[in-house]
Amino acid sequence: MFWPLWLAMLASIVAAKPSFELRITAAPPLIDGQLNDDCWSSDQAMITDFRQVAPLEDAAPTERTEVRITYDADNLYIAVRCFDQEADKIIAKEMQHDRDTDSDDMVRVVLDTFNRQNDGYYFSLTAGGAKLEGLVKDNDTKVPEWDTVWHGRSRIAGKAWTAEFSIPMKSLAFNPAGDSWGFNIERIIRRKQEIVRWAGFSRVKEVTALSDMGEITGITGLRQGHGLEFRPFTSVNFAPLRSRRNDPKWDLKPGFDLTWYATPSLAATLTVNTDFAEADVDERQMNLTRFSISYPEKRNFFLQDSSLFSFGANGVGDTFQPYYSRRIGLTTDGRPVDILAGVKVAGRHGPITIGCLDTQIDETETVKSKNLLVARSTLDVFDESNVGVILTNGDPRTNGNSTTAGADFNYLNSYLPNGKSVDAHLWLVGTDSGLNGERDYTVAGELNYPNEPFSLTLSAQRVGDNYDPALGFSPRSGVWYLLADANYTVRREAGLVREMTVRLGRDLVTDLDGHDQSFNIHIPRIDFANAAGDYIFVTYYPIGERLDEPFEIYKGVVITPGNYHFSRKVVEIGTTRRRPLRCVLNLKDGEYYAGRIRDYKGNLEWRPSPHLYMGLNYTLTEIRLPEGSFNARIGNLALNYAFNPSFSLNTFAQYDNKSRLFGTHLRLRWTVQPGNEVFLVLNQNYTNPEEWHLRPVDSRVSTKVAWTLRY
């Protein structure tokens, strides 16, 4: 009796998801944000049945939203009219492509082109005209660094603002045999902190939760032409000062990417003489720990299809990645290594996903030219889960070789009663390291209950003494990682404090014999937020560290071995990004090993108009120890100006007193049209900034022209 009842409940939940049938258009719209084309006429069917996600879950919206969708063989077209009774209060402060859109009124569209709740795409437009696109991986994780070709325009007129999208089929992978896609759309009315959606009204989930989507149907006759995309590029680099690698002063570097869509859902890409001159520089981090830290990937070649290479889960922190793309084409200190050529095959064939990347990197001062291989595949099982394998071969650190192989199982059930969900992950990975000459493994499991008012995460991972993923990231070996984290959230419909979250948690690292190495206990963390989005949180947590060897935390300051127990108090106050001026202040104070630490962090953002953005970040860490005392400082300044959504100038300067380098990065970007771009980039580093006598140590000017030709 139980199973028929459970299946009936599941069927009723699935059937309740909204659906919208598309009609093909013979006359494509002009993407200008005006919505006066025939295909957007008032007699066309439209989506209007939005519901609130916040501040009131599943309540009626305060403003009307109309969405019309049509398509032809080459593009998906979406028109959104966002009515607003107080149109003069629409917030439109961001115009630049790929910028943070948390400050503006905006619309976000999410597509699951395989209708499998595993991976998808999202496209955003703000009222100011800023475009942002990204991938969705592992059902709900966003990858905003990904770029593709699409068109979008917004416009404020009368008592509404409009957003118009044109998304080429050549920019998407999809199942040509299917006639329905997963679809959701979200509107944010920033001044009210109001979020409305067409499907999935749970506050604890973002619109990118693919399992909560509705669907669009009637999609037939799509084409990707001959399935060929040719992207030639040429960069010219000029180094008035010779760099540490003794590069020539002039460097002409032509190259190309050639992509063949064997099917609309499976693509093979050949890259030759790959160049990343236009990629943003890394923001410096002050590492005051014993272990290496990771940086986000910013190179589009590796971001494209990156969701297909995702493995396992990271609830125990960024402690486990059998594949870390920054191992390819970058040294451990972030200097570029030329990628001579590479082949990537990525996509989906039925229930199977495939990701295979093979690259040949240039030689460095210490390592000969190497071939590096990464292969990943998953098989969909049940309704929303998958099993997979991963293999990497090659070691960019040495002239030897290393191999990593693993398997994982990822379970998701988003059909629990009352809209709740649960997910679980298991994985096992082994390494055969040429660096240490040993074989070893890591095994892990994680359980998540990501709901409101109560959420819970439990995870455990064993990392062997000689575990060494040469193309991955694992800062510690010979340990157990254990994590337990629980949150309880209370929301109110009115009053000064609209939201309060209490968090209790513990993370523990032991050696393989069970002796404590590190631990943190959060008892408790309390978060408060008001209706506007301003917030404050306070927490107190004991910390434990066992040092078996001396640890040089800073130049000349060495902490002696021993068992240390200390505590930390944290207070953070922040204002919402919807304000033209945003400020965040964070203060940490407490004991630190055998001494004390006080940490001050400040962030200031100013958006006076859609054209101009300025951001300032500064961190001062004062550490007083018996072994020595020091102050660690790091700061950066961003100043960006968007002449229009297609033409922008970004400047970024940063300094830290550990490297004693003052670095500047200037990038001029002109998008002639989506896919066709021109970049001018200037990178410079100076030393001795504290003495106010800047001496240039590294300088490079790069010009890159990239064009996209599709057949």
Q: Residue 78 maps to which CATH number?
A: 2.60.40.1190
In this prediction, residues 573-602 reach a mean pLDDT of: 92
What is the enclosing helix (H) or strand (E) of 702?
strand 695-706
- At residue 313 the predicted structure's pLDDT band, cuts being 50, 70 and 90, is low
Percent of the chain with pLDDT over 70: 94
pLDDT at 692: 65
Cβ burial of 292 (10 Å; 0-12, 13-18, 19+) is: exposed
Tokens standing for residue 195: 């979020």
Averaged pLDDT, 634-654: 93
Share of the chain above pLDDT 90, in %: 46
Q: Does the pLDDT at position 125 exceed 70?
A: yes
Note the pLDDT of residue 295.
Answer: 85
The predicted-structure confidence for 464-487, as pLDDT tens digits, reads as follows 999 999 999 988 899 999 999 999
The two three-digit tokens of residue 210, written as one number: 């693919």
Question: Domains in the chain: how many in total?
Answer: 1
Residue 265 Cα distances to 209, 224, 449, angstroms: 21, 10, 32
Q: What's the pLDDT at 248?
A: 55
pLDDT at 444 over 70: yes
For 468, the 3-state DSSP assignment is: coil
Q: Could you tell me if residue 26 is inside a domain?
A: yes
Is pLDDT at 619 greater than 80 in this prediction? yes
Give the pLDDT confidence score for residue 7 in this predicted structure: 39
Cα–Cα nearest to 18, from 257, 231, 208, 183:
183
Domain range for 70 is 17-217
CA 447-390-400 angle, 5° bins: 125
Per-residue pLDDT at 15 exceeds 50? no
pLDDT at 355 over 70: yes
- Helices and strands (H and E) in the chain: how many: 2, 41
Query: Is the residue at 467 inside a domain?
Result: no
Q: What is the rounded average pLDDT of the residues 673-694?
A: 82
DSSP letters spanning 360-423: EEPP-SSS--EEEEEEEEEEEETTTEEEEEEEEE--TTSSS--EEEEEEEEEEE--SGGG--EE
DSSP type of residue 220: -
Out of 485-494, 595-604, 647-656, 690-699, least confident range: 690-699
Judged against a pLDDT cut of 70, whether residue 9 lies above it is answered with no
Q: pLDDT at position 348, please?
A: 81
Q: How far is CA 580 from CA 19, 94, 105, 108, in A?
A: 38, 11, 13, 22
209 or 499, higher pLDDT: 209
Dihedral sign for Cα atoms in the order 101, 102, 105, 107: positive
The pLDDT value given to residue 289: 84
In a domain, 693, yes or no: no
Is 71 part of any domain?
A: yes
- pLDDT per residue as tens digits for the range 93-117: 888 887 767 788 999 999 999 888 8
Owner of token pair 């072994």:
627
* Rg (alpha carbons) of the chain, rounded to whole number: 26
Instruction: Convert 299-333 into a string of H (helix), E (strand) and C (coil).
Output: CHHHHCCHHHHCCCCCCCCCCCECCCHHHCCECCC
- What would the pLDDT profile of 65-82 be if each residue is shown by its tens digit? 999 999 999 999 999 999
The verdict on residue 155 lying in a domain is yes
Which two tokens mark 661? Answer: 């380098």
The most confident of 262-276, 430-444, 497-511, by mean pLDDT: 430-444
Identify which of 260, 424, 461 has the alpha carbon closest to the alpha carbon of residue 345: 260
239 vs 270, higher pLDDT: 270
Q: Which residue has the higher pLDDT, 456 or 42?
A: 456
Q: Which pLDDT belongs to residue 102?
A: 78
pLDDT in tens, 244-291: 455 557 778 888 889 888 877 788 999 998 888 788 888 888 888 888
Q: What is the pLDDT of residue 229?
A: 87
Residue 31 has pLDDT above 90, yes or no: yes
Nearest to 325 by CA among 361, 350, 286: 361
**192 is a domain residue:** yes
Looking at residue 300, what is its pLDDT? 81
Instruction: Name the more confident of 320 and 699.
Output: 699
Most confident of the following: 159-163, 170-174, 202-206, 308-312: 159-163
pLDDT at residue 655, as a whole number = 93
DSSP string, 490-529: EE-SSSS--EEEEEEEEEEEEETTS-EEEEEEEEEEEEEE
Better-predicted residue by pLDDT, 313 or 462: 462
The pLDDT assigned to 616 comes to: 96
Q: Residue 215: what pLDDT?
A: 94
Contact between 633 and 656 under an 8 Å Cβ cutoff? The reply is yes
**Mean of the pLDDT values across residues 438-450?**
93
pLDDT at 361 over 80: yes
pLDDT above 80: residue 11: no
Tokens representing 474?
A: 């694992």
**Which is more confident, 114 or 184?**
184
Enter the pTM of the model: 0.82
- What pLDDT is attached to residue 447? 94
> Does residue 91 lie in a domain region?
yes
Of 161, 284, 99, 134, the closest CA to residue 654 belongs to 284
Cβ count within 10 A of residue 126: 31
Q: Cis omega (within 30 of 0) on the bond before 55?
A: yes
Residue 44 has pLDDT above 50, yes or no: yes
Q: Under 8 Å CB-to-CB from 421, ≥6 apart: which residues?
A: 205, 211, 412, 413, 414, 415, 450, 451
**Distance from C-alpha of 652 to C-alpha of 73, rounded to nearest angstrom:** 42
* pLDDT classification of 555: cutoffs 50, 70, 90: confident
Residues 492-526: b if buried by 16+ CB within 10 A, e if exposed: eeeeeebbebebebbbbbbeeeeeebbbebbebbe
Q: How confident is the model at residue 691 (pLDDT cuts 50, 70, 90)?
A: low
Assess if residue 138 is contained within a domain.
yes
356: Cα within 13 Å, side-chain hemisphere: 9
